[in-house]
Structure 1
Amino acid sequence: MTSVLSTKSATYGLAALTTFALAASLSGCASGGDAAAGGEDEVNVTLILKDLNNPFFTALEQGAQEQAEVDGVNLTVAAGKKDGDEEGQIQAIENAVLKGEDGILVLPSGPAVNAAIEQARAAGVTVIALDTPPDPISTTDMTFATDNFEAGELIGSWAASAMGGQDVTIALLDQFSDRVIQTDLNRNQGFLQGMGIDLGDKTQKGDEAASGSYSGGSYTIACQEPTTGAEDGGRTAMENCLTKNPDINLVYTINEPSAAGAYKALEAAGMQDQAMVVSIDGSCTGVQNVSEGIIAATSQQYPVVMAQKGVETIAAVVRGGELPEVSDGLDFFNTGTALVTDDAQDGVESITATEATEICW
Structure 2
Amino acid sequence: MGRRGPLGRSGRGVAVLLAGALAVVGAACTSQRTATPGVGGKADGRTRIGLVTKTDSNPFFVALREAAKARAAADGAELVALAGKFDGDNDGQVAALENLVQQGVDAILVTPNNSSGILGAIRHARDRGILVVALDTETSPRDAVDATFATDNVEAGRSQGRYVRAALAERDPRLLMLDGTPGGTVDEQRHRGFLDGFGLGENDPRVLGRQPTNGDQSRAQQAMENLLQRANGVNAVYTLNEPAARGAHSALQARGVAGQVVVGSVDGGCQGVRDVREGRYAVTVMQFPRRMAEEGVRAAVEFTRTGTRPSGFVDTGSAVVTDRPVPGVDSRDTAWALANCWG
Please classify the TM superposition score into its range, dividing by the shorter chain length. Answer: 0.7 to 0.9
Residue 339 of structure 2 corresponds to residue 358 of structure 1 = yes
Which stretch of structure 1 is more off in the superposition, 237-246 or 111-120?
Answer: 237-246
5+ unaligned residues in a row in structure 2: which ranges?
13-35
- In structure 2, relative to structure 1, the CA distance for the partners of 1:256 and 1:209 (3 Å cut) is same
- In structure 2, relative to structure 1, the CA distance for the partners of 1:22 and 1:325 (3 Å cut) is farther
Identity of aligned residues (%): 39
Residue 163 of structure 2 corresponds to residue 158 of structure 1 = yes
Alignment match, 2:5: 17
- In structure 2, relative to structure 1, the CA distance for the partners of 1:141 and 1:244 (3 Å cut) is same
Alignment match, 1:7: none
The DSSP-based 3-state class of the residue aligned with 1:75 is strand
State the 1:236 CA deviation.
Answer: 2.2
Residue 203 of structure 2 corresponds to residue 209 of structure 1 = yes
Residues 264-320 of structure 1, C-alpha deviations (whole Å, 9 max, x = no match): 122222222222210001111110001001120111110000000111111110112
Alignment match, 1:334: 315
Alignment match, 1:67: 71
Residues 5-58 of structure 1, C-alpha deviations (whole Å, 9 max, x = no match): xxxxx231xxx332xx459979xxxxxxxx976566421112111112211111
Contact in 1 for aligned 2:156/2:190 (Cα 8 Å)? yes
Contact in 1 for aligned 2:164/2:263 (Cα 8 Å)? no
> What CA distance in whole angstroms lies between the structure 2 residues aligned with 1:37 and 1:52?
27
Following superposition of structure 1 onto structure 2, how do residues 1-361 of structure 1 map, counting pairs within 5 Å?
10-12=1-3, 16-18=4-6, 21-22=7-8, 41=42, 42-110=46-114, 111-177=116-182, 179-181=183-185, 183-198=186-201, 208-211=202-205, 220-324=206-310, 326=312, 332-361=313-342
TM-score (normalised: structure 1) = 0.83
Residues 157-182 of structure 1, C-alpha deviations (whole Å, 9 max, x = no match): 111111012112111111112x241x
Alignment match, 1:6: none
- In structure 2, relative to structure 1, the CA distance for the partners of 1:17 and 1:323 (3 Å cut) is farther
TM-score (normalised: structure 2) = 0.87
Corresponding pairs, count: 315
- In structure 2, relative to structure 1, the CA distance for the partners of 1:116 and 1:250 (3 Å cut) is same
- In structure 2, relative to structure 1, the CA distance for the partners of 1:140 and 1:38 (3 Å cut) is closer
Contact in 2 for aligned 1:235/1:261 (Cα 8 Å)? yes
State the 1:149 CA deviation.
Answer: 1.1
Amino acid in the other structure paired with 2:189: N
Contact in 1 for aligned 2:276/2:282 (Cα 8 Å)? yes
Alignment match, 2:23: none
5+ unaligned residues in a row in structure 1: which ranges?
1-9, 27-34, 199-207, 212-219, 327-331
Runs of 4+ with >6 A deviation: 23-26
> What CA distance in whole angstroms lies between the structure 1 residues aligned with 2:37 and 2:85?
34
- In structure 2, relative to structure 1, the CA distance for the partners of 1:196 and 1:283 (3 Å cut) is same
RMSD: 2.0
Contact in 1 for aligned 2:302/2:308 (Cα 8 Å)? yes
The DSSP-based 3-state class of the residue aligned with 1:121 is helix
Amino acid in the other structure paired with 2:229: T
Q: Which has the higher contact order (CA 8 A, sep 6+)?
A: 1
Amino acid in the other structure paired with 1:231: Q
Amino acid in the other structure paired with 2:128: A
